[in-house]
Structure 1
Amino acid sequence: MRFLMTTFLALAASTSWAAAPTEAERPPDLNCDVGPLHKTYGKTAWLVYACNDSRSVVIVSDKGNPALPFYFILYVNPDGDMQLHGEGTGKKSATQAAFDEIKTLTQTDVAGLVAQAQAVQAGGTAK
């Protein structure tokens, strides 16, 4: 499953940036397979994976979540600007509730999620 998610996320991340006018302006391809961290957004279960840029995360609907299948990419640019993108065919009320909560996350919150996902990956526990 991790291989499929990594492949899917790499494809999604790379295609979303395909319209960039120059290679210098194009963000690096993201590999978002560190984790997962179990979190609740919009009163439903989600899996959070940290990306290899150490500042962005992907949030994927967990088993039993009516939003399944759905994912969010929360990309933090090097300048701190944050972009939130979601895609999938899950239940709209579940995805909207999660979106409303995720969009309030700050850059500090996202950095905390990255650190927690890295701790889970390393065999530790998230705080």
Structure 2
Amino acid sequence: MKYFAKLFAVLLIASSPCGSLFAQQTNLNCVTGPVKKTYGKTPWLVYSCDDGQSIVVVTAPGSPAAPFYFTFNGGRLSGEGTGNKAATDAAYDDLQRLTDADIKALVIQTKNTGS
């Protein structure tokens, strides 16, 4: 339960109008999902946002990259947190290779989780 409280806080920050990563968006809600994925050989949870094109990639429970999250907003990849740098760098390398079509596919996958 603690993990989900932290996750909610991360998503709240990312979706707030004053959140640095989503400054261009107002009231962006990023809670659809999650879809479990592996990036940089570590587990991540992917949530989509209500704009239909942005995603938040959050460390899964027990991940060596925790606490950390990445966002794709308008094709821009950003990350924030204090997790293991080697793990987050490896995930960043994988995530930066995602195409617009890959992001759209992730959005669809999150919507199909029933959450």
TM-score bucket (shorter structure): 0.7 to 0.9
Match of residue 9 from structure 1: 11
Displaced runs of 4+ in structure 1, greater than 4 A?
A: 1-4
Query: Structure 2: 5+ residue runs without aligned partners?
Result: none
TM-score normalized by structure 1? 0.77
TM-score normalized by structure 2? 0.85
Q: Highest Rg: 1 or 2?
A: 1
Match of residue 54 from structure 1: 52
3-state SS in 1 of match to 2:45: strand
* Distance change in 2, residues 1:42/1:4 (3 Å): closer
- Is 1:109 matched up with 2:95? no
RMSD over aligned Cα, in angstroms?
Answer: 1.8
- Is 1:33 matched up with 2:26? no
Q: CA offset at residue 3 of structure 1?
A: 6.3
Query: Structure 1: 5+ residue runs without aligned partners?
Result: 19-25, 77-81, 123-127
Q: CA offset at residue 9 of structure 1?
A: 2.2
Preserved CA contact (<8 Å) 1:37 1:49? yes
Q: 2:76 aligns with which of 66, 74, 83?
A: 83
Match of residue 98 from structure 1: 91
